[in-house]
Amino acid sequence: MNKRVLSGMRPTGRLHLGHYFGALKNWVTIQENYECFFMVADWHALTSNYADTSEIKDNSIDMVIDWLTVGVDPNKAVIFRQSEVKEHAELFLILSMVSPLGWLQRCPTYKEQLKEIQSKDLNNYGFLGYPVLMAADILLYKAQNVPVGEDQLAHLEYSRELTRRFNNFYGEVLLEPQALLTKTARVPGLDKRKMSKSYGNSILIAESEDEIVKKVKTMYTDPARIKATDAGHPEGCVVFAFHELFNKNFETRKQECKGGCIGCVKCKKELAELMCEFTKPFVEKRNELLKDKAAVEKILDEGRQKASAEAAETMKEVRKSLKF
């Protein structure tokens, strides 16, 4: 039997290259060798977007279309919405009883976001409980592995500790999950910060050619370089970071840049061409998928059925262990 994996993403709408190189590319690979459950974490979106929920539904569909666009395969993986499998809420409730407040308050992502995000009031109980809900997602499917980026490691550790605490009280019912750490590339945004929708510095997975050309032109380059013949510094250059992702001859480019043999304008033009070539099949696939949203809903409905069956089994055991 293949090991089981659960992973999820909050529905933020159309996905960008940071999502692709940071997670999705890996999902497409692991679906071959793991029994995968890929979840739209729409209740998680609610933890911080409770005041305006108008976009969550459309964003979920847009996100799933991008999953399918890059090759996440509903014949290999179970694709479903968290909010359609109510057992997530039930296990979340039970886990919340054994979640020490201090653990949650000390969570680094919690502290950081509370400080950083000024545009929303995050002093709500659900936001504090974010890692508890995430633990419920994973434990409900007895997933051995969770592919996570570094930013989610603290949450996974929380799930592990919570599992031990739960099992201590009620018996060996839940399975302690392990991180599935894979090498992923860090993708900078156009302005060199981390690529993120909220920074407005991203390039979509299925970005049009025109947009790619426009965006590559705005990429941050080496400010110390004035003339094309000046020696460049590829290490800190966003354009070069993208050559590393899209240009198989990036080593040659590095030398050319350092030697002042190529100017930034030409370097960007070549990058844009390579990126357009890469995204072209994604643009086509996405347009095709957009024509039949009903088919996407059908995939989610089949996923819901499969996920529900597994979740129901676990909850039976959980209720029994609590002597309910």
**List of residues contacting ligand TRP (CB under 6 A):** 6-10, 41, 44, 134, 137-138, 146, 148, 152, 155
Please, which residue, 88 or 285, has the CB nearer to ligand TRP?
A: 88
In the complex with ligand TRP, the residue whose CB is nearer, 53 or 249, is 53
Q: What is the nearest approach in angstroms of ligand TRP to the Cβ of residue 73? A: 19
- 19 touches 64 (CB < 8 A): no
Contact at 8 Å (CB) between 41 and 226? Answer: no
Q: How far is the CB of 2 from ligand TRP (least distance, A)?
A: 18
Q: How far is the CB of 280 from ligand TRP (least distance, A)?
A: 28
Helices and strands in the chain, H and E counts: 15, 5
Cα–Cα distance measured from residue 81 to residue 86, given in angstroms and rounded to the nearest whole number? 10
Whether 203 and 272 have beta carbons less than 8 Å apart is answered as: no
Backbone angles phi, psi at 32, to 5 degrees: -75, -30
- For residue 248, the one-letter residue type is K
Q: Which is nearer to ligand TRP, 145 or 221 (CB)?
A: 145
User: CB 230 → ligand TRP: shortest distance, Å?
Assistant: 41
Q: Which is nearer to ligand TRP, 67 or 242 (CB)?
A: 67
Q: What are the structure tokens assigned to 266, written together? A: 């030409």
CA atoms of 2 and 90, how far apart (whole Å): 27
- Smaller CB separation from ligand TRP, 7 or 247: 7
Residue in the structure block whose two tokens are 């159309």: 14
Least distance from C-beta 226 to ligand TRP, angstroms? 41
